[in-house]
């Protein structure tokens, strides 16, 4: 069970397929209690935006570490950017 599930997610920016994803894992504790969870695969190269749930590559978003797509990042962190910069 080493192969990750193929979810076929598509990046909204470049329309390209994403790699990696989420896998279910099952385990059993010492006392016999089953554990079921979801983990991300090491080769995952995309985020699912926390706000709008769209899929975006790390490389296609400006702030992949925050878990937001660019439009949502702008909404959350850059309210009313007024004027022209530089």
55 binds Zn ion, rule: CB under 5 A: no
Among 47, 55, 60, 61, binds Zn ion (CB under 5 A): 60
| Only segment of 20-28, 29-37, 48-56, 77-85 that touches Zn ion (CB under 5 A) | 48-56
User: Which one, 7 or 25, has the nearer CB to Zn ion?
Assistant: 7
Helix%, strand%, coil% for the chain, nearest 5: 15, 25, 60
Q: Which residue's CB is nearer to Zn ion, number 13 or number 66? A: 13
Cα separation, 58 vs 65, whole angstroms: 8
Measure the CA–CA gap between 82 and 17, rounded to whole angstroms: 35
């Amino acid at each position: 069970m080493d192969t990750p599930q193929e979810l076929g997610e598509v990046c909204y920016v470049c329309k390209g397929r994403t790699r990696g994803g989420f896998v279910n894992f099952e385990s059993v504790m010492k006392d016999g209690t089953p554990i079921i969870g979801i983990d991300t695969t090491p080769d995952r190269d995309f985020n699912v935006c926390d706000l709008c749930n769209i899929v975006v590559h790390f490389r296609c978003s400006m702030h992949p570490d925050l878990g937001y797509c660019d439009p949502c990042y702008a909404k959350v962190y850059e309210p009313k950017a007024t004027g022209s910069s530089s």
